[in-house]
Amino acid sequence: MRIRGPAALVIALVAAVVCGAAGLDWTNEGVTAAGSAVSAAARANGTIRGRVDLRQPPADTLPRTSVTDLGMSAPHAPIDRRSVVYLDPAPRAAFDTREEPRPRMDQRNETFVPHVLAVVAGTTVDFPNSDQTYHNVFSLSKTRSFDLGRYAVGRSKAVRFDRPGIVRVFCDIHSHMSAFILVFSHRYFSVVDDEGRYRLENVPPGTYTVVAWNESAPLESRRVVIAEAGGDVEINFALGRR
């Protein structure tokens, strides 16, 4: 069979997408690391803190223009694209299990709230619908693919995330809705606050790599040493192209 114009374009299109997907479905090998050899017992633990700034603020996602729309689209609130900081590798104590409240990723005003959620592997996340319209939360990520189907306001569905990695979450009905769930195999991670500050507490003495992640910038990492006596270490990041 001759490959004509449409087929050739199809091939090129798929090729480009797959190349892109290779970078998209990032699974953080470091997150699954077996842990540090440092013994946490009988030594003072330290704190790693600092700020993550973005050199260029990420552009807001625009709703896809549909020429069939009959009316003006409603303005959407800007998305809070927060960064996440985590240790790689993590100390052994990080794998201890703890009971924590069940996190939720809400759907409000056609936006996932929060836009970035970080959880420990094995966590179940609730996805309530607080809008007046249907939503259809789904993910095609290798880390965890799921499709919750369409459900109305007031209802909630849940998904358990067992494997570490990044899960991109979308709504099948509203193309401008997206979110990230970062699943870690340990507890040494922190989503930055409104000021971009983070804090990783109770880190045992040892040498680690602190990694800063933001969806709009390449990963950045720094080596950090927590002394035997513990103490605070400040590490600041500026993500994005200079």
Partner 1 sequence: MLIGVHARRLLLALSCVAKATCVVAATCVATAARAGAQPLPEGPVRLLDGRVALSGEVVATIGSRDEVAWFNYTDYEHNALRMMRLGLTAAWRPAERVAFVGEIRSEDLEHPSAYAAYVRVRPWRRYNFDIQAGRIPPTFGAFSRHAYGTDNPVIGYPLAYQYLTSLRTDAVPATADDLLEMRARGWRSSFPIGSQTPGPGVPMITAFRWDTGVQVRWKQGPIEVTSALTNGTLSNPRVRDDNGGKQIAGRVVLTPGVGWIIGASAARGAWLSRDIPSQTTLPPQRALGADLEYSRDHWIVRGEVVWTRWSFPVPLWPANVDQVGALAAWGEGRYRITPRLYLAGRADRMTFTRLRGSVPKSRAQPWDAPVTRIEGGVGVYLQRNLVLRTTVQGNWRTAGRVHDRAFLSAQLAYWF
- Residue environment code for 171-207, b if the CB has 16+ CB neighbours within 10 A, otherwise e: beebebbbbbbbbbbbbbbbbbeeebebebeebbbbe
Smallest separation (angstroms) from partner 1 to the CB of 192? 24
**Quick one: 2 or 98, whose CB is closer to partner 1?**
2
What's the CA gap between 182 and 118, in Å, rounded?
Answer: 5
Nearer to partner 1, 25 or 220 (CB): 25
- Nearest one of 226, 190, 229 to 208, comparing CA atoms: 226
Summarize as ranges the residues that interact with partner 1 (CB under 8 A).
1, 3, 5-7, 9-11, 13-24, 59-72, 75, 132-134, 138-140, 145-147, 149-153, 168, 170, 175-176
Nearest distance in Å: CB 4, partner 1? 8
What does the angle CA 127 – CA 129 – CA 132 come to, to the nearest 5 degrees?
170
List strands edge to edge, sheet with 206-214.
189-191, 84-88, 206-214, 217-226
Q: Minimum Å distance from CB 179 to partner 1?
A: 12
The amino acid that residue 130 corresponds to is S
Closer of 36 and 143 to partner 1 (Cβ): 143
Q: Which is nearer to partner 1, 133 or 207 (CB)?
A: 133
Using DSSP, state whether 24 is helix, strand or coil.
Answer: helix
Distances (CA, A) of 225 to 41, 234, 236: 17, 11, 15
| Nearest distance, CB of residue 123 and partner 1, angstroms | 19
Q: How far is the CB of 59 from partner 1 (least distance, A)?
A: 5
Measured from the CB atom, the residue of 169 and 200 that comes closer to partner 1 is: 169
Residue with Cβ nearer partner 1 (122 or 149): 149
Give the Cα separation of 191 and 80 in Å (integer). 12
Residue 69 C-beta: closest distance to partner 1, Å: 7
- DSSP string for 93-127: GGG-----PPPB-EEETTEEESSEEEEETTEEEEE
Q: Cβ 63 to partner 1, closest distance in Å?
A: 7
Residue closer to partner 1 by CB (options 79, 212) is 79
